[in-house]
Chain A
Amino acid sequence: MTELVTKHPEPIHDVPAGNPTDNVWKLTWRVSQHRPRELWVGWSLFVVFFTMPAITGYFLARGYGALEGGDTTGTIWWAAAIAASETIRMIAIHHGALIWTKAWIHMQTLLRANMLSAQMASGGLHAGQPVGSAGSAVTHFRDDTEDVANFVDGMVDVSGGLVFTVIAGFVLGAADPNAALILILPLLGVGIATRVLDTRIKEYRAADRAATEGVTGLLGDVMAAATTVKVNDAAEPMLARLAVLVDRRRHTAVRDRVLEEGVQAFSKGAADVGLGLVLLVSAGAIASGSFDLATLALFTAYLGWLSFLPRMVGRVLARRKQAGVAFDRMSALVAEQAPTNTVRKRRLPIDPADKRTRSAVERPERVSLERLDVSGLSVAYDGRRVVSDVGFTVGRGEFVVITGPIGVGKSTLLRALLGLAWQADVTGSVRWNGREIEDRSAFLVPPNAAFLSQVPQLISDSVADNVALGPVDPVQLATALRLAAIADDIESMPAGADTLIGPRGLRLSGGQRQRLATARALVHAPELVVLDDLSSALDVETEVLLWTNLADAGMTVIAVSHREVAFRRADQVLRLEDGRIVGPAPRNSD
C-alpha cells in the first residue's frame, strides 16, 4: 500500500533551539555562510577600504615633512602617492560595495525564503503556524531580516576599523608614544557613549513612533469620519485634541533628534578634543621642535578616522541585541517556532549569474479514492467546541452537500477535515480507503484533494498562474476553465489565459474570482474536491452548470451550499446545527 505521508525531511539538530539570543552568533554565522563567496570577497574589499586611510595619512605626513624641509619635488611625489592610494581605496570600495550589496540581499533572501516556505508548506515537518495578519507579518520579511544583515554589516565595519586602528596605533606610537597614549581616553569615551546612547536612541525612537501613531491615528479617524465631525460641528474639539497630540510628538521628536545629534557631535568632537589633548601633551616637544609638522599632519589625518572603531564597536553591540530580537520574532513564522529553522540551508539562484532551472513541482503521489471515512471529528478553539463528533462517509463519485445556518461550523469542519485548522484542537479521524491519513495537510493537496475557500484569495499574476500555481499542460488548463464555467470569460479577455488579473485579482468581478478559484481547485483533476460555500458569489444558473459539469466529470465532491439545486443533485445532504450533524436535510421528492 502506498505511504500516505510523503514528506520526511530531516530537521536540523546541531544548533539547539531555545533562547535565540544565546545563539545569535551561530544563527548569524549560518546566514552569512549562505553565499560565502560574495560575503568574503565583499568583506575583504571593505577591510582594504577601511585600511587605506592609514597609508594615505602616512603619505600626507611625509608630504608635510618634505614641505617643512623645503623639498618641493619630494612634496609633489608624496602628493602623487596620496592620489594613488586614494585611487586604490576608491577601486576597492567600488567593487566591494557592489558585491556587498549582493551579499546583503542574499542574507536577507535566505531568511525570507525560509519564512515564506514555512508559511506556504502544505503540512510536513517544515510547515509553520499560519500568521494572523499578513500586513504585520511583512515587517518580519522587511525589518527583521534587515536587522540581521545590519549586524553582519557592523561586524565588517568593526574588523576594518580594527585593522586601521592597529596600523595607526603603531605608526602614531612610533611618531610620539605619549601623544598616542593620550588618545585612548577620548576614543574610549566614544565607544561607551555610542553603546549607551544607541540603546537610548532606540527607546526614544520607539516613543517618537508611538507619538506619531497617535497623531496619524486621530487624523485617520477624523478624516474617515469627516461627515460625522462636520454634522456634529466637532471640528474644534477634535483640533484641540490633535493639538495636544502634535505637541507631544514635538517633544519626542526633539528628544530623538537631539540625542542622535549628540552622539554624532560626541564622535566628531572626539577628533578635535583628541587633537587638543595631543597638542597639550606634546607642548614641550612642539616648542623644542621634536614634534614637527609631519607628526602634526599624521595626528590630524588619523584622528578623523580613529573614532570609527569605538563608534562601530558600540554600534555592533547594540545591533547584536536587535538581531537577537529579530530572530525571536522571525521564528514565529517557521516550524516549531525554532530560530534554527529561519536559517535552513537552501539554494536560491537569485543572481542572474546563477544557473536557474525550474524543477518539477513536488506533489504527493496520487492515491485513487475509493472511500473517505470521517469519524468522530471534533474541533475546539480555546476549549470552545465548534464542531462536535461529526462522522460521514463519501464514496467515489459521490456529491455530498453540507448545509446549515451561518456560524454553525461548516467552514471549520471542512478546514479540520483538510488539516487546515491550525489554531484549533482537532480530534477524530479521517480515513482514505480505510487507512488513517497521518498528516492531512500534507496528503490532502492536489492530486489527491483540492479546496476552494469561502472567500478565495487570488494573487497578482496571470489567469493561468492563478489556476495552475505552477507549469501546466494547456489542455488541462482549458478543461479546468471549462468545468468551472469561466472559459468564455477568459476567452473574451485581451490576452486570454495570460491576462494579468491585478492585485488580489481585483480586475475581475466577484463571480469571476470565485469561478477562477474553482478552476484552481479542479485543474489537477483531484480525487476529492472540497468546496466551501459557492452560492454566495454565484447566480443560480451558474451554480447548476457547475454541479452538472462536476457530475459529468465523475468527480467526488464535498460542498457547502444553501441552494435547492444543490440538494436535488446531492447523494447526501448533511445538515449542521451547533457543530453537530442533525441528520440529513429534507430532500425534495419531486
Chain B
Amino acid sequence: MATQTATSGTRWRVLGALLRPDAWRWAGLGVLVAISSALLIAGPLVVRQIVDAATEGTTRADIVRLSLVFLAIAVVTQILAVIVVWSATIAAWRTTNDLRLTMTRHVLGLDHEFHRTHTPGELIQRVDGDITSVSDFLSTVVTKAAGAAMLIGGIIIVLTVLDWRLGLGMAVYVGLALVVIVQSRHRAVSESSDEMGALGRLYGGIEERLTAAEDLRANGAADHVAWRFVEDSEDALMSAVRRERAFLIMWWFVQGAVAAGWVIALVLGAVLVAAGTISLGTAFLLFQYVLLIARPLEEVVHELETVQKANGAMVRVVDLLDVRPKVLDEGDTNPPAGPLSIDVDAVHFDYGDDRPVLSHVDLHIGAGRSVGIVGRTGSGKTTFSRLVLRLVEPTSGGVALGGVPIADISLVELRRRVALVPQEVELFAGTVRDNVTLFDDQPTDAAVVEALHRVGLDALAAAGIDRALGAAGGGLSAGEAQLLALARVWLRDPDVLVLDEATARVDPQTEQRLEAAVVELMRGRTTLVIAHRLSTLHSVDEIIVFDHGLVVEHGDRGDLVGDDDSRFAQLLSISLDEEREPDGETASSEVTP
C-alpha cells in the first residue's frame, strides 16, 4: 500500500476532473462574480460624479437622479452577493458530494487488509472531513479570490484610465500590502496549532478524570485533580496569549496597511488636486476605493488557512484514490448451480513477512457437507475462511469452488453464492428491514418477514420491519443480532455458508434458538463453522483441526470423537472441563489446549 504523495499536477487534474461535470454552473458563477465586482466599482464612480457635479454647480434633480442610481447599485450588489454564495455553495456541494460517493465506493472496494489497518474514524475523516475542506475551499475561497482579483484589477483599470499615476500607485500599494500581510501570517499558524494542543490536553485531562471519577472520588483525589487542572489551565492560558500575540502582529500589518491607504489617498489627492491633475471627485474616489480594498485585505489572512487545509486534503484524497486492491474482479466463469465443493490446493498465506499464517493446506470439502473448523486463536482458521470468501488472496496455491478457480468467478457471482455470518454482527442505523436487506430495495417486505420468521425472530417481525434500530444495536441483544445476521443469509440463499461462531455469551434460550436456526440454514448448503466452543459442533459432518497454520486433522466428526487419540477428542475433553468451572465466570470461551 505504499503510495507516493500526489504531485501538485495530479492534484489540480483531479480538481479539474471534479469541476468538469458542473462546468456550466461554475462558468455562470464566474459571470455573476464579475457583475458583482463591476457594481462594487461602479458605486464610488457615481459618488465621484456627484462630488464633481456639486463642485461645478448643478441642480437638485441631477443629484437626486445620481443618488437613486447609487442606491439601486447598493441594493443590487447585496442581493447579488447572496446569490453568488447560494450558487457557489450549491455547486461546491454537488461537486464534492459526487467525490464523496466515488471515494466511499473506492474505499469499500479496497482489500480486507486495508480495512484491518485503518480505523473507521480515520476513514470517515478522509472520506468526509477532507472533502468538506475541499468543499469549503470551492464555495468560499474560489469565489472570494475571483471576486477580489476582479475588484482589484477593475479598480486599477478605472484609476489608470483616469490618471495612469493613480493606477500605478494603487497597484504598488495593493501588491506591497498583500506581501506584508501574507508574510506576517506564518507565525500565527504555528502558534494557533500550539493552542489547539494545549486545549486538547486540558479537555483530554478533564475527560480522563471524569471517566475515572468513581475511583478518584473513592480515593479522595479532589485536591490533586484541582491542582492538575490549574496546571493545565495555565498552559492553555499561556498558549492562548502567545497565539493572540502572533495574531496581533498580523493585525498590526493589516490595519496598518488600511490606515496607510487612507493617509496616502488623502495626501496624494491633496497634492494632485492642488496641481490641477485630478478633480475633487477623483480624489474622493481614491478614498472610497481604499475603503473598498480593505475588505479583501482583511479576509486574505483567514482564507489562506482554508487554502492550506484544502491543499492538504486534496493530497490525501489523491493518495487514497491511488491505493489499489489486490483482489481483482477479472473472472467471468459461473460455477455449477447448487451447493459447491471446496478444493484447496497447496495454499500458503502470509502478510508479506516471514511468519506464515497458513502453510501446505490441501483440502477437499464435498458439496453440501458441513464442516467444523477448530483450533486456538492464531491457528489460521479465520484466514482459511477469508480465502474461501476471497477477502484475501493466497500467497501461493489455489482455491476452487465447484471446480472453478475462485479468481475466475466474478465477484458479484461469488458474493451471491458464498455468504458469511460474522462473529460480531454489525448493525446499521436504519430500520429492521434495512438491517436485514442491507439497504437493498429489491427484496419484498414479505420476503424480509419470512426470513425473520425462519430464524425465530417472530417478535421482531411482528413489531414491524420499518421500526428503527440503533447503530449500536439499540433494542437488540447480542443473540438477537446473531439471529438477524442469519436472517440476512436466509434472504440471500447462498450455496456456501461460512459461520464464524459468536463468542458472546447468550442466554440458554437464545442459544437454543440460534442452534435451531443454524441447523435449518445448513441444509442443502456447503457450510464451514468456525467453532469457538466445541460443545456446539453437534450437527456437523466433518471436523478440521488447525494448528500453527497447518491442517493437523481432518475427518468425519463421528470417527474423531470415537478415537481417544484424535486431537479433536482431546480438545473436546479439555473444553468441557473449562466450561464446568465454578460460577462459569472465569471459564474461557476460547479453546486453549
Contact = CB atoms under 8 A, between A and B. Distances in A.
Interface in A202-236: 215-235
A522 to B, nearest CB: 11
Interface in B2-38: none
B64 A280 contact: yes
B60 A284 contact: yes
Interface in A430-483: 441, 444-446, 450-451, 453, 456-461, 465, 468-470
Contacts of A441: 217-218
Main secondary structure of the interface of B (DSSP, over half): helix
Interface stretch (A22-30, A169-177, A241-249): A241-249
A90 B255 contact: yes
A260 to B, nearest CB: 8
B101 A258 contact: no
B67 A137 contact: no
B283 interface: yes
A227 B391 contact: yes
A101 B439 contact: no
A67 B238 contact: no
Interface string A310-326: 00000000000000000
B426 interface: yes
B219 interface: yes
Contacts, number: 418
A216 B438 contact: no
Given A90-B255, A287-B63, A253 B216 contact: no
Interface in A163-194: none
Contacts of B270: 63, 66-67, 72, 75-76
Interface string B276-290: 000010011001100
Contact of A272 (B43, B50, B430): B43
B233 A231 contact: no
Contacts of B43: 272
Interface residues of A, number: 150
Given A219-B124, A459-B208, A109 B419 contact: no
Interface in B183-224: 203-224
A374 interface: no
B419 A101 contact: no
A265 B82 contact: yes
Nearest to B72: A276
Contacts of A116: 206, 209, 225-226, 229
Of the candidates A135, A457, A535, the one having the most CB atoms from chain B within 10 angstroms of its own CB is A457
B67 A279 contact: yes
A221 B89 contact: no
Interface in B499-541: none
Contacts of A123: 217
B302 interface: no
B149 interface: no
Interface stretch (A350-358, A383-391, A394-402, A548-556): A350-358
Interface in A269-303: 269, 272-273, 275-277, 279-280, 283-284, 286-287, 289, 291, 293, 296-297, 300
B589 to A, nearest CB: 14
Contact of B89 (A76, A119, A254): A254
Contacts of A138: 203, 206-207, 210
Contacts of B145: none
B211 A134 contact: yes
Dominant SS at the A interface?
Answer: helix
Contacts of B426: 221, 224-225, 228
A569 interface: no
Interface stretch (B92-100, B172-180, B561-569): B92-100
A363 interface: yes
Given A79-B267, A233-B416, A219 B215 contact: no
Interface string B74-110: 1101110110011001100110010011001101110
A217 B429 contact: yes
A150 to B, nearest CB: 15
Nearest to B80: A265
A105 B237 contact: yes
Name the residue in B50, B263, B269 with the highest tally of chain A Cβ atoms < 10 Å from its Cβ.
B263
Given A98-B245, A238-B108, A453 B214 contact: yes
Contacts of B228: 461
Interface in A122-148: 122-123, 127, 130-131, 134-135, 137-138, 141-142
B583 A405 contact: yes
Interface in A335-380: 348-352, 356, 358-359, 361-364
A570 to B, nearest CB: 16
A405 B207 contact: no
Contacts of A283: 60, 63-64, 67
A242 B585 contact: no
Contacts of A217: 429, 471
A544 interface: no
Interface in A82-126: 82-83, 86, 89-90, 93-94, 97-98, 101-102, 104-106, 109, 112-113, 116-117, 119-123
A428 interface: no
A258 to B, nearest CB: 5
Interface size class of B (residues with CB under 8 A): 35 or more
A579 B315 CA distance: 59
A250 interface: yes
A169 to B, nearest CB: 21
B222 A503 contact: no
A568 interface: no
Contacts of B352: none
Contact of A72 (B247, B271, B391): B271
A78 interface: yes
Contact of B127 (A219, A296, A453): A219
Contacts of B86: 254, 257-258, 261
A137 B210 contact: yes
Interface stretch (B51-59, B158-166, B358-366, B371-379): B51-59
Interface string A492-524: 000000000001100000000000010011000
Contact of B59 (A223, A287, A420, A465): A287
A223 B428 CA distance: 11
B123 A223 contact: yes
B526 to A, nearest CB: 15
Nearest to A67: B270
A516 to B, nearest CB: 11
A261 B81 contact: yes
A60 interface: yes
Nearest to A80: B263
Contacts of A4: none
Given A246-B101, A286-B50, A230 B391 contact: yes
A82 B62 CA distance: 33
Given A75-B270, A241-B439, A459 B94 contact: no
Nearest to A231: B420
B237 A350 contact: yes
A243 B66 CA distance: 51
Nearest to A287: B60
Contacts of B416: 233
A12 interface: no
B112 interface: yes
Given A220-B120, A276-B71, A119 B90 contact: no
Nearest to B90: A254
A15 interface: no
A465 B208 CA distance: 14
A283 B237 CA distance: 54
B71 A230 contact: no
20 contacts: A60-B262, A70-B273, A72-B270, A79-B263, A98-B248, A135-B207, A138-B207, A220-B471, A222-B104, A223-B107, A233-B416, A234-B438, A246-B97, A257-B89, A269-B78, A279-B63, A279-B67, A296-B284, A457-B214, A459-B212
* Leading 7 A-B pairs by shortest Cβ distance: A276-B71, A457-B212, A269-B78, A225-B426, A272-B74, A233-B415, A445-B220
Given A116-B226, A238-B108, 6 more contacts: A78-B266, A86-B259, A141-B203, A218-B428, A241-B439, A246-B100
